[in-house]
Structure 1
Amino acid sequence: MNRIDSPFRYARPVAAVLALFVVLLLPMAAATAQTTTATRSVEVPLRGGQLTDDDVRLLENETPALSLPAAVDRVVYLVFGSNESNLNDSLRHYAERDDRSLLSGSEDKFAPGSLIVAVGMDPRRVGVACGDDVCNAINFYGSGRMDGILDEMRVPLRQSGDPNIAAALLAGARAAGDTTVVAEGDSDVLGWWILGGISGVAAVVTAGSLVWGQRHQRRRVRERYNHVVGNYSRVASQLDSIDVRAHSLSSPLADDALRRDWEDVRTRFLATDSTVQRLSGIGDEVGDRELAGHRKEITEAYEAVRQMENAEHNIDEFFRMEHGDDTVRRRRLTELHEDLVEARTTVSDDGLRDDLDGIDARVVALRETPDAPDFMDAYARIITDYRIIIEAVRNREFDDVEPDDDNPTPRLWDDSWRPGYGYYGFVPFVTVNSWHESATSSASGSSGATTGYSSGGFSGGSASGGW
């Protein structure tokens, strides 16, 4: 046989097989999707500091083309910059506090017609919620469905160490509409010929996803470059004043660990100066593709600038707290109160629950007197006593977790850091609980979707888990 012709000798049989797959699979897909041509709204009201304008346009343009049941008339995408360990609670609270149109008439479930897809950044969570009619239409409560949807969202969040938030949101909505998406081990055996056809289609989709992923990554590099160029000089010019403020902190919470954190982030920021000077101007001369060749340098500079910005904000908050700012003091105590409430609802040991009640009573009382002359001393004593109780909780009920590289404690340069974090090793309950959930999920070999809420009175369909 002619060598030139040999690569094509299987073309006709392969084409025939693929055509057969299309004929057989398309009716199945149409029946499964239950699509509708009716207009449905696509909303992105909460970006969490993560989504760009291009990301929002992508979601708005791609979502209408998804195969979703006719029951879905509203798709809402949410990204939380800071969220509760149980993301279901954050979804509920967002609906109750920020958009009551997401609630049903009785306000104890999510509104009919609604599909909500969410990503939480701190701690890292993914979640999906729906009105009763939508939950039924997508077989939300079917075997493996919740875990399957969340698993689809995790893929773009875990790839290459650069979470693709927009892709994760879109993957969640797409998986919600595809009732064949279930957690591994729960899918029905459809036959190798169907799986082969799906694999062929998946290969095409994957190729397209890789191209889109490359473009998204290049845009992300450009955005990070612009952030460095736009913010490095400002932060650098303020560095001396930030340093003075950091060293002026004088309450008991301003311990050696805090000062080591400050010196650490300051040193790393200063070390990026030569890199930033070298990068300056590059982005104005080259396209996104060429700029992506400097990805490692740009990412390192971006992280140094963002961490210094976080440290600047955290030091300012701490300074204001020390100097009697009522708003900051009440805000921090309210966050501590919410953490204690979550601990109280999660812990099963009655003695520990009583101890938590006692700490919470002190927090609420101090919140009523933010101008107390010994406020910072009282706050430090609360943190010290709460740390002891959390250690007891960890030893008795969460003995599968330890602070280490896999379970990092919030540091001064993290946006999740608060005054008191790290004081004699203090971490809030929500952090310890997230460590425990991750350990439990890893040990079970599954995503372990959470479906409930920390407090009663609400029964909206939702599922969430870590990523």
Structure 2
Amino acid sequence: MADRGKGFRGSKSNSFKDWAAVLGITALLGLGGGALGYASTEVPDAADSQIATQAEMPEVMISDPGDVLTPDDEARLKRDAERLDRPDTVKTLHYIALTENRDNVNDSVENFLRDNFPDQIGNDKYADGVLIVGTDVVGRHHFILAGEDVADQLYIRDGQRLGDALEAMKLGLRDNNIPGGFFAGANVATDIEAAQNYPVERAESEQGNATVGYGLAAGAAGLAGGSMTAIRRNKRRKQIAQAREDHAIVANEFTGLSQRLDELDIRANSVSSAFADAELRDQWEEVRDRFLRLHEVKQLGVDTDRQAWENREALEEAAATVTDTGHAEENINRLFNAERGDVATRRSILLDIRTDAQNARREVKDKEIKRDLRALEDRIEELDRNAAAPDFIDQFVILLRDYSTLLDEVKRREFSDVPEHTQLDSPTITQPGFIYGTYVPYVHMSTWHSSNVAAEQQAQSSASSSSSSINTSYSSGFSGAGGSSSY
């Protein structure tokens, strides 16, 4: 599939003109009264604050000079990173676990990067595209730091969304669950929906404050309104570029999928084993019908910026449909081949399940569940040795249902420590790696639990009247975005 995620920053000259206009307008508004300040503080529409995404996940780096993390911890960090949102500015996600115990952990990170990763830090700022999440386990400090482009897009600065992201890390770190704490912080920091809502909520707050302001208050409100105008223009440029990329996906993938659609429809309806329940067929029919409606969308133009802008929503939906259909094709072919006796496909599916069960056994604490997982792994290995057996599918479905029952017990015993802020949904045929309708892999369940932990921590933080201060200082005078706190 083509990459839907590259953002479009626009030219430097256009950005300069936008901000020059902002400053000029601010100076004029500073002469007015509080009423003029209120009128000039425009609350943006949520659609104008859209954040461009990227199809590929960022490069995940893990630095552990003090050997704090286990191999399982590192594997979990990389695995959970696949579940994070993918804003287009974040090209590198760097997890760091230190043991230096300095008074200022920001200095520790600066020195560590200069000594080991000089490409991630400049003279005064962190490199663009970098998001850093970490802790000093001895000093019990934690940090989230970012390149300027990342901080600007996701509002990762003191007084913006940085405090929420740092707060989300504390519960896991206090329990010595470093991967959980790291994921919680990264999850909040990269939360596209929250970042998109932030400027709207901020502007609404500033507009309310402007009703009691006079003189200089009008200038401040004007700056907020002008800033939003410049932000909207940059967002528009990115959305135009995204519309053209979505158009390319539809143009490049549509014809091939169309030619294979009839055969794929036959395969989806000919899978006759327990793999193919009514829900699977319903899911296939839904995505198939969406795909068949794309004929008109394919003709939408993007030659001019106006065309691309006006067609952006239809093209975004069309590109998502093409991507969903491609995933459905891969999954249906996989199930079809497994049912028809393809040994390589059967063993590939078993390997996925064995790996998931091994991850579960390493991470759960309940001894009884660990024992049952070990027994299930033995059954998987036995089935793998008999992958060509005529009753393979029947035995496999029984095994998978037993594993699902065991995972339900994992959820009850291991993941009920916090309220369920989000629903645990079963994978669908349009998601990569789909196997069976009611089967929710442990890795998916574990990430869901980490999200609930982060959400609960945020809820507790919001309810609390006090919060830890955020440290953004460096003894060297360095001024990179982000900051640190303590737990």
Structure 1-normalised TM-score?
0.56
In the alignment, which of 434, 441, 449 is matched to residue 447 of structure 2?
434
Opposite residue 389 of structure 1, the aligned amino acid is L
> Relative to 1, partners in 2 of residues 1:108 and 1:296: Cα closer, same or farther, differing over 3 Å?
closer
In the alignment, which of 269, 291, 294 is matched to residue 247 of structure 1?
269
In the alignment, which of 134, 154, 163 is matched to residue 183 of structure 1?
163
Q: By how many angstroms is 1:327 displaced?
A: 3.2
1:224 and 2:240 matched: no
> Relative to 1, partners in 2 of residues 1:300 and 1:401: Cα closer, same or farther, differing over 3 Å?
farther
The answer on whether the counterparts of 1:344 and 1:353 sit within 8 Å (CA) in structure 2 is yes
Q: In 2, Cα distance between the equivalents of 1:229 and 1:387?
A: 40
Aligned residue pairs, count = 330
Q: 1:280 is matched with which residue? A: 299
Q: 1:291 is matched with which residue? A: 308
Q: By how many angstroms is 1:414 displaced?
A: 1.7
Q: By how many angstroms is 1:240 displaced?
A: 0.9
Opposite residue 183 of structure 1, the aligned amino acid is G
Q: In 2, Cα distance between the equivalents of 1:429 and 1:362?
A: 17
Q: By how many angstroms is 1:348 displaced?
A: 2.0
Q: 1:138 is matched with which residue? A: 110
Q: In 1, Cα distance between the equivalents of 2:275 and 2:66?
A: 47
The answer on whether the counterparts of 2:5 and 2:55 sit within 8 Å (CA) in structure 1 is no
The answer on whether the counterparts of 1:403 and 1:409 sit within 8 Å (CA) in structure 2 is no
Q: 2:260 is matched with which residue? A: 238
Identity of aligned residues (%): 24
> Relative to 1, partners in 2 of residues 1:53 and 1:214: Cα closer, same or farther, differing over 3 Å?
closer
SS of structure 2 residue aligned to 1:419: coil
The answer on whether the counterparts of 2:68 and 2:97 sit within 8 Å (CA) in structure 1 is no
Give structure 2 stretches of 5+ with no counterpart.
13-53, 72-76, 101-105, 112-133, 168-216, 462-487
Note the aligned Cα RMSD (angstroms).
Answer: 5.0
> Relative to 1, partners in 2 of residues 1:318 and 1:238: Cα closer, same or farther, differing over 3 Å?
same
- Superposed, which structure 2 residues align to 1:58-457 within 5 Å? 91=61, 120-122=81-83, 124=85, 127-130=93-96, 136-138=108-110, 140-141=134-135, 146=142, 148-149=144-145, 168=150, 183-184=163-164, 210-273=232-295, 275-276=296-297, 279-280=298-299, 282-283=301-302, 286-399=303-416, 406-415=423-432, 417-420=433-436, 422=437, 425-445=438-458
Q: In 1, Cα distance between the equivalents of 2:367 and 2:223?
A: 55
Q: By how many angstroms is 1:243 displaced?
A: 0.6
> Relative to 1, partners in 2 of residues 1:171 and 1:447: Cα closer, same or farther, differing over 3 Å?
farther
Q: In 1, Cα distance between the equivalents of 2:80 and 2:366?
A: 32
The answer on whether the counterparts of 2:420 and 2:452 sit within 8 Å (CA) in structure 1 is no
SS of structure 2 residue aligned to 1:141: strand
For residues 319-367 of structure 1, the C-alpha deviation after alignment (integer angstroms, 9 at most, x for no partner) is: 2222333333232222212211221123222211211111122123333
Give structure 1 stretches of 5+ with no counterpart.
1-46, 59-78, 93-101, 111-115, 154-165, 188-195, 449-467
Q: Which one is further off, 402-411 or 311-320?
A: 402-411
> Relative to 1, partners in 2 of residues 1:379 and 1:185: Cα closer, same or farther, differing over 3 Å?
closer
For residues 76-101 of structure 1, the C-alpha deviation after alignment (integer angstroms, 9 at most, x for no partner) is: xxx88589xxx9xx756xxxxxxxxx
The answer on whether the counterparts of 2:291 and 2:325 sit within 8 Å (CA) in structure 1 is yes
Q: In 2, Cα distance between the equivalents of 1:344 and 1:131?
A: 25
Q: In 2, Cα distance between the equivalents of 1:365 and 1:49?
A: 40
Q: By how many angstroms is 1:311 displaced?
A: 0.7
Q: In 2, Cα distance between the equivalents of 1:440 and 1:409?
A: 20
Q: Which has the higher contact order (CA 8 A, sep 6+)?
A: 2
Q: In 1, Cα distance between the equivalents of 2:455 and 2:422?
A: 16
Q: By how many angstroms is 1:250 displaced?
A: 2.4
The answer on whether the counterparts of 2:283 and 2:428 sit within 8 Å (CA) in structure 1 is yes
Opposite residue 353 of structure 1, the aligned amino acid is K
Q: By how many angstroms is 1:396 displaced?
A: 2.7
Q: 1:24 is matched with which residue? A: none
Q: By how many angstroms is 1:224 displaced?
A: 0.4
For residues 174-202 of structure 1, the C-alpha deviation after alignment (integer angstroms, 9 at most, x for no partner) is: 969x9x99535979xxxxxxxx9x99999
For residues 360-381 of structure 1, the C-alpha deviation after alignment (integer angstroms, 9 at most, x for no partner) is: 2212333344333332222211
